[in-house]
Amino acid sequence: MQKSLTYTQQQDMNNKDFISVLSERTGYDQKDTQKLVNNIITAMSDAFITDNSIIVPNFGVFETKKKMERIIVSPSTGQRMLVPPKLVLTFKPNQTWKEKLKGGR
């Protein structure tokens, strides 16, 4: 069965599907496409570890944000606990993508 150049299935796209679609669109074989994707992910991970943002034009911004330590109350025991500070990864789509996502629902 030949896959189309657009991914239209109503389920989550796994790594194999992503590599296959990207390979078809770029014309590279799947092995080279997998290497490219791995290198992109490694470069992005390195940027996030060093607390840098990644701005992708016409797509959005990936950035790490620092969450301060806070006190929570366990609903089951009522005990107060301290949650340590941590970094979280966020994505903010640009306006075009926000509108596309709104229209798709």
Evaluate if residue 1 carries a pLDDT over 60.
no
**In whole angstroms, what is the distance from residue 63 CA to residue 13 CA?**
23
Query: What's the whole-model pTM score?
Result: 0.68
Structural domain spans, the chain: 1-50, 51-105
- Given the candidates 3.40.50.300, 3.40.718.10, 1.10.3720.10, 4.10.520.10, the CATH classification of the domain at 51-105 is 4.10.520.10
**What confidence tens digit (pLDDT) does each residue in 59-90 have?**
999 999 999 999 999 999 999 999 999 989 99
Task: Give the per-residue pLDDT at 9.
Answer: 58
Helix ranges, 1-105 (H): 15-26, 30-49, 95-103
